[in-house]
């Protein structure tokens, strides 16, 4: 049966979301319909709403960092059943392609065929409003009481997991933590710099700490963020506004030539270059995590020829969502400390404003009661 429920619809870019009554069709073959219990606001939602130049990705239901309960399953779905606690995943894994079988990547050939990259939306959508098809943002659309996703884009998690906490693992925490541990492969005793102290950057700090980094330099233009960064393991804080020299020179002086690892979590091309230049020239590794697709990034070849490595990371590599949930339950991973605000779905525009103004780390929205 079609479910009629509430959702926050983005009818057009740069406009507030509007609470609407939408229709969520039953899951088709290989699909799962999920009741969303909690969802968080991520900068990628804001990017699509406010920065993406392609206006064809509207109307849409944003949201992709969430957790919920399986409501029903389509034909051919055997791994999930109603009542299972799950996290929908914007980067699905078919498990069969060359990429899925490689330990080197979390990319999937099949997954990208189900997403219009320029629209940041699924090829298929089971969501509609007043007879008009709604785009399904990154295959998830979690700013809705119910959503339908492909079974390869669902991770079953421990039934004891608190959904209003582990929802963060659906994007930001996995992305930052995995960038440090899986992509940069931070080594014990090393020196790291993390650029941008939103949720992703703080998760990268936590990843550096978990990997055994001896010194973790947090870089941000908002001084108030250092106290929060210390909670996750930062040892130093540098505000570029406090210096009249390029930040890479400041870090080079602090570290006898540059850090071993730098992780860029700001999504700004000028910061990406600064992060690269902050690495020690002979062996430094710099990882781009922040997302943007509206600007080019440039670097002089000499900054790489001597031995630096420049890498990118999507969703933290093969982090393993069920494993991260278990790490949280075992008190080996912080989640509660990221949550600065709790609201309800109908307050989503207030949550977006908080993020626009850099006044939150993560705002978790209650969507449905469990």
Q: List the catalytic residues.
A: 42, 44, 48, 64, 171
Q: How far is CA 21 from CA 128, 145, 251, 348, 352, in A?
A: 9, 10, 52, 15, 20
Based on the number of CB atoms within 10 Å of its own CB, is 302 exposed (0-12), middle (13-18) or buried (19 or more)?
exposed
Question: Going by DSSP bridges, is the β-strand pair 261-264/191-195 parallel, antiparallel, or unpaired?
Answer: parallel
Long-range contacts of 353-362 (CB under 8 A, 24+ apart): 354/41, 355/41, 355/43, 355/46, 356/46, 356/50, 358/198, 358/222, 361/198, 361/199, 361/202, 361/228, 362/40, 362/41, 362/168, 362/172, 362/199, 362/338
Q: How far is CA 116 from CA 112, 135, 155, 228, in A?
A: 8, 10, 22, 36
How far apart, in whole angstroms, are the C-alpha atoms of residue 233 and residue 204?
A: 10
Q: How far is CA 339 from CA 118, 175, 245, in A?
A: 30, 16, 34
CB-based contact 200:213 (threshold 8 Å) = no
How far apart, in whole angstroms, are the C-alpha atoms of residue 107 and residue 95?
A: 10
Q: Which of 165, 163, 115 is nearest to 139 (CA)?
A: 115
């Amino acid at each position: 049966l079609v479910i009629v429920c509430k959702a926050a619809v983005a009818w057009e870019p740069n406009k507030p979301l509007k609470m609407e009554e939408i229709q969520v069709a039953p899951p088709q073959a290989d699909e799962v319909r999920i009741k969303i219990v909690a969802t968080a606001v991520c900068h990628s939602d804001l990017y699509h709403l406010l920065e993406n130049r392609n206006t064809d990705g509207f109307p849409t239901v944003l949201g992709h960092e969430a957790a919920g309960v399986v409501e029903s399953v389509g034909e051919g779905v055997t791994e999930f059943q109603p009542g299972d606690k799950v996290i929908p995943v914007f980067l699905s894994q078919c498990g069969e392609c060359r990429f899925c079988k490689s330990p080197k990547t979390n990319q999937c050939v099949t997954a990208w065929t189900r997403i219009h990259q320029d629209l940041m939306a699924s090829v298929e959508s089971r969501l509609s409003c007043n007879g008009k098809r709604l785009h399904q943002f990154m295959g998830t659309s979690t700013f809705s009481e119910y959503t339908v996703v492909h079974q390869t884009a669902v991770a079953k998690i421990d039934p004891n997991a608190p959904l209003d906490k582990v929802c963060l693992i659906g994007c930001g925490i996995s992305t930052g933590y995995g960038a440090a541990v899986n992509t940069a492969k931070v080594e014990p005793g090393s020196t790291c710099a993390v650029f941008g102290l939103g949720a992703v950057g703080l998760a990268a700090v936590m990843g550096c700490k978990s990997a055994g980094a001896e010194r973790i330099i947090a870089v941000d233009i908002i001084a108030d963020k250092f106290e929060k960064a210390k909670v996750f393991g930062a040892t130093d804080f540098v505000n570029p506004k406090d210096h009249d020299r390029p930040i890479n020179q400041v870090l080079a002086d602090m570290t006898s030539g540059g850090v071993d690892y730098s992780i860029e979590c700001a999504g700004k091309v000028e910061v990406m270059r600064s992060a690269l230049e902050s690495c020690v020239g002979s062996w430094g590794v710099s990882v781009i995590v922040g997302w943007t697709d509206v600007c080019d990034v440039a670097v002089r070849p000499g900054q790489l020829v001597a031995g630096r490595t420049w890498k990118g990371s999507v969703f933290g590599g093969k982090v393993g969502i069920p494993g991260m949930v278990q790490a949280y339950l075992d008190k080996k991973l912080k989640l509660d400390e990221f949550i600065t605000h709790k609201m309800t779905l109908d307050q989503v525009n207030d949550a977006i404003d908080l993020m626009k103004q850099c006044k939150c780390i993560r705002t978790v929205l209650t969507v449905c009661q469990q």
